[in-house]
Chain A
Amino acid sequence: MTPDLDLVPFVPELVLVAAAIVGLLYEALARGPRYPVHLAVALAGIVVASGATLALWRYGGDPTVLAGAIATDRLAVLARLTVLGAAFCGLLLGTHAIERDPAAARGEFFPLLLFATTGMTLIVAAADLIVVFLALEVLSLSLYVLTGLPGRRAASEASLKYFLLGAFSSAFFLYGVAMVYGATGTTRIPEIANALVGRTGEQGLALLAAALLLIGLGFKVSAAPFHMWTPDVYQGAPTSVTAFMSAATKVAAFAALIRVFDVGLQALRWDWTPLVAALAAVSVVLGSVLAIAQADVKRMLAYSSVAHAGFILTGLTASNADGIGASLFYLIAYSAMTIGSFAVVGVTTTRGEDRTDLDAYRGLYRRDPHLAAAMALFLVSLAGVPPTAGFIAKVGVFGAAIGAGYVWLALLGVLASVAAAYVYLRVIVLMFMVEPEEALVSDPAPLPRIAIAIGAAIVLVLGLFPGLVTDLVRSAAVLRW
């Protein structure tokens, strides 16, 4: 008896795992300098997985395959591609970090990053809550180790904090899955939707499930008030890992959140959208205000990531294709800006991890005009100023929120953006209008500059010609189930 298996929508994950296994064996068996081979294997895995993902754009089979475990819609394709792009840039940055500091270098970086990417591409396509949980654990466990990989005190402390709080949030998520099963008798997201539609009367269990799932995923997207781990982990982790996880984890967790809430719990949307709006409001305000008080660039960008999680949640208060599309566009734009800005942080000084305070940016324009220009572009985009991707993305999510009747939330978002602009403009002023005080040298290595160039190109292209992707995003926002 052979079960009827359609593995095609699952090929990206298979490719990534295969590349990771090859990398792991190579790390165990090979001797001598190994990073070129590691990088080649990992890049090949990511490129092939991207190709397999692209081929799924026109997939015409069932909405879910493998006994309802994997969804085949275009949301999964677009989110996967974003995650793979982030992984590509993360690999370049990580390879450079290894070249710069061979003492702290571990070849396990490459397989672990691929395993984390596998978890992320799996979670965006997961159509069963058990698979969502499985993918969440795969990506989280890999990221805990990646965070602590250099073995320095700060990294180990960040890793342990991330692990403890992450395990705590996984428990919330799992409890939510149990409650969903109690309420509907299934863990398959489409069947949950069917079970909840048209049900009247007692909904206590399903509402409790919605709240618990929102807490669990809220931790992962670092929405306030579940953001406590974000600054410490972003600061303690190697900058290359921070760049990768700030972008890719957000995309993965938000795609899972969209599928769980906008498909599975669609029938309860009048109950959960106020919760999402409250999380969005708290995140936007707390993230923007606390970013002002930071003297370390990585912590500042971490609080900014909390605020951006709030903006994306703002878009999701509109539980329809408009809201999903706006949030997806925001995720793509945010990935480019955050990877780019963390890549700049990594090369601002040749000492990398040791200098992340704002003073290192004094007079960066005099030292390295290209780097300063790229950083200015990312910061302006993070602030949401035209003609950058950040502006178009913000317009999209605010428009979706207003369309859903959350005018106050959109207003709050605009006000918080104004407050947060100070954070970003402060760095730009330091870079362009202040003379450098000490003789710092920025890192001239080519690999991180490729990642910076990719990020800058995406930020500019999406800002100037958003029409290039709006059609893709719109068709990805229509969920098949």
Chain B
Amino acid sequence: MLSEYLPIAILAALALLFAVGSLVASGLLRPHRPTPVKLSAYECGNDPVRLPRGERFSIRFYVVAMLFIIFDIETIFLFPWAVAARELALFGLIEIAVFIALVFVAYVYVWKKGGLDWAGGSLTPIEAEAASEAPGPREEVGIRAG
């Protein structure tokens, strides 16, 4: 049964061998004459640019992404119900109503907690902590490793 996977394993081994072999061979054969231009990262002929340029993305994008996923999933679940709605009749309707109600609770919670306001909403404790101590030296983190 496992032997059916043998060709894949052989292919993976050959691919690895080719990649490593090429790098090793070129490393041994090529002349080594570096210049700053040669050592710079190649980016389609343009000057290399660092991204993101010093600024961070707002953590609020994360909340938006999570909200999107929740409602995305809701839609995905509605499709199979819609296809089988006639056969499932009242039972299916109640089930999907319960499901939508549960997602709606999440919506109410996010709304009331200010998750939908981009600028507003109170600071969470960690944001307040970060804001209050931003100019001063960072305190040692309280957990030791190991």
* Interfacial residues, chain A to chain B (CB-CB below 8 A): 1-3, 21, 24-25, 27-29, 103-104, 150-154, 156-158, 202, 204-205, 232, 235-236
Contacts and interface: CB of A to CB of B under 8 A. Distances in A.
Given A25-B105, A153-B129, A1 B2 contact: no
Contacts of A24: 105-106, 109
A3 B91 contact: yes
Given A151-B129, A156-B126, A236-B143, A27 B109 contact: yes
A151 B129 CA distance: 9
A151 B143 contact: no
A150 B125 contact: yes
A29 B112 CA distance: 7
A150 B124 CA distance: 10
6 contacts: A2-B91, A24-B105, A151-B124, A154-B141, A204-B1, A236-B142
Interface in B77-130: 87-91, 102, 105-106, 108-109, 111-113, 124-126, 129
Task: Tell me if A's interface is mostly helix, strand, loop or mixed.
Answer: helix
B111 to A, nearest CB: 8
Task: Tell me if B's interface is mostly helix, strand, loop or mixed.
Answer: helix
B103 to A, nearest CB: 11
A232 to B, nearest CB: 5
A230 to B, nearest CB: 12
B142 A28 contact: no
B68 to A, nearest CB: 18
Contacts of B141: 153-154, 157
Given A21-B102, A104-B125, A154-B142, 5 more contacts: A24-B105, A24-B106, A27-B109, A28-B112, A156-B126
A235 B1 CA distance: 47
Contacts of A156: 126
A200 B142 CA distance: 54
Contacts of A2: 89-91
Given A2-B91, A3-B91, A158-B143, A25 B109 contact: yes
A24 B87 CA distance: 34
Interface-central residue, B106, B108, B125, by most chain A CB under 10 Å: B125
Nearest to A232: B143
A21 B125 contact: no
Nearest to A29: B112
